[in-house]
Amino acid sequence: GPKVLQIPSHQIIDMGQMVTLNCDPVSNHLYFYWYKQILGQQMEFLVNFYNGKVMEKSKLFKDQFSVERPDGSYFTLKIQPTALEDSAVYFCASSPTGDEISNERLFFGHGTKLSVL
């Protein structure tokens, strides 16, 4: 079936450094999402993105976070600078819905485990 790819699978960085998490969504999908999951805890919404713009973001999406998807390239989540509490697994997801944000099923990547030391 359709796959969302995330690169890298694991990233270890020092606190204060910048990190970019990459996501290759399903090719004909239009909505893209980032979620954060700390081990054993619930999936938490960070942001969704459509037509080159952030549509919704949560309180977890701090000023240090940014997203973009330059044409034909990865959908990225950048954290600059990183903090210890940013350590988590970050899941990218995409959905095909074209007209509005809806309850269309999400296709998830396998996640990038970010370890901030």
Partner 1 sequence: GQGVEQPDNLMSVEGTFARVNCTYSTSGFNGLSWYQQREGHAPVFLSYVVLDGLKDSGHFSTFLSRSNGYSYLLLTELQIKDSASYLCAVTDSNYQLIWGSGTKLIIKP
- Name the site residues for partner 1 (rule: CB under 8 A): 4, 40-45, 56, 91, 100-103, 105-111
- Distance, C-alpha 81 to centroid of its chain: 16
d(CA 111, CA 92) in angstroms, rounded, equals 7
User: What's the closest the beta carbon of residue 99 comes to partner 1, in angstroms?
Assistant: 12
> Closer CB to partner 1, residue 53 or residue 72?
53
Contact 48, 104 (CB under 8 A): no
User: What's the closest the beta carbon of residue 3 comes to partner 1, in angstroms?
Assistant: 9
Q: Please work out, in degrees rounded to the nearest 5, the angle formed at the alpha carbon of residue 39 by the alpha carbons of 34 and 40.
A: 110
Q: Please work out, in degrees rounded to the nearest 5, the angle formed at the alpha carbon of residue 16 by the alpha carbons of 11 and 18.
A: 50
> Closer CB to partner 1, residue 75 or residue 111?
111
User: What's the closest the beta carbon of residue 33 comes to partner 1, in angstroms?
Assistant: 9
> Closer CB to partner 1, residue 57 or residue 78?
57
> Closer CB to partner 1, residue 82 or residue 111?
111
